[in-house]
Structure 1
């Protein structure tokens, strides 16, 4: 995937020039290593194929198969597993490379897409709440719950979506370094936008949860 696809962007990560009075507060992208683990579960795929190779080898040995056959079968399983993990890691790298999260004083913009680029503009008036979930390194996910009947389809957001929220998908900044600071900045922008619109904003606590291990009206979108 080449970055040349986005050479026509007037501002990196945005579908057009910023209108008067709007300015960028922050821009970032996922950490591809964390994205491969947290969103694509590449480590679990590696563990699965390793266990499968061991199981194959043990069964083959118990069944009296020749040692060469046992080793060949286990080795082929590991090769297939390595290829699967490699593809997941490659996708995570491409996804991180083609994703830009943008916070302005008026909206959250999500531009992503490896094969087909998509750009979603989410005005703060369409946001109900935000949260943050960190891992031990401070990298984390920032889900954005949409208000009212504003929705974006889960497949259009993946992998930048809160897991298992299929009915009411939540666009999510995944694997963001220093996620607590980014979430705090977003929360402040939302509160300011709420005051400007004279609409109460109910935010989830900005205190992060830390992991020890690790029709309906659509939100305006621009391709």
Structure 2
């Protein structure tokens, strides 16, 4: 039995306290996570270039086309194995990750070998952004107030790229990212205004072209360049 199987509420380390409402819960899309979060497409191109160069160099040294092809194919299984490992890891990350948005906080539960949950109350979130992908998935990074940091290596791959000194937790490769960004924007706005938000309230929607929502006094959900 894993730690995730004994959670009082799926994705949460403890039951929701009275007065707190869950607005959304979901997990990463593992294919999108592999392609974008773990750069599977780039790795595939890299290995393809290496194999092509191997074949060209062997043929240039005097081997026939057939001999060069056979020499190249001997290394192909290693490239395929590496890509399959990335896919397997992405699947495992998605399977063990649950993102939760309530009317008071964001919770990231993740970890294949070492499960953990990180609570991010809205008072710690200075801004949020959204990056939408063509397949409808997207990333939502959260900038935290000064002095509130979670180590980048602890967060990865649920962290915004290149923000090592000031890590930003991120909801990575989530399906229907525009709708989820709208839910978060409504919750942040309501929290800033000091009002509640109903669990079945219709959130503000973000179009793939505009990538922005209404702004709260101290919170913004704009576009991200992750």
Q: TM-score range by the shorter chain?
A: 0.7 to 0.9
Instruction: Please list every run of 5 or more consecutive structure 2 residues that lacks an aligned counterpart in the other structure.
Output: 196-215
Does 2:42 align with 1:44?
yes
Does 2:59 align with 1:61?
yes
- Paired position in structure 2 for 1:196: 194
* Cα 1:209/1:136, change in 2 over 3 Å: farther
| TM-score normalised over the length of structure 2 | 0.85
* Cα 1:16/1:145, change in 2 over 3 Å: same
- Paired position in structure 1 for 2:184: 186
What is the RMSD of the two structures over their aligned residues, measured on CA atoms? 2.0
Does 2:47 align with 1:31?
no
SS at match of 1:17: coil
SS at match of 1:25: strand
Shift of 1:118: 1.3
| TM-score normalised over the length of structure 1 | 0.86
Instruction: Please list every run of 5 or more consecutive structure 1 residues that lacks an aligned counterpart in the other structure.
Output: 212-223
Detail structure 1 runs of 4+ shifted over 4 Å in the superposition: 66-69, 208-211
- Paired position in structure 1 for 2:74: 76
Shift of 1:195: 2.1
Q: 1:1-223 alignment to 2 at 5 Å?
A: 4-65=2-63, 69-196=67-194, 201-206=217-222, 208=223
* Number of residue equivalences: 206
Q: C-alpha distance in 1, partners of 2:146/2:53?
A: 50
* CA shift digits 1:43-80 (9 cap, x unpaired): 11111111111111111011013556523331122211
8 Å CA contact retained: 1:49, 1:77: no
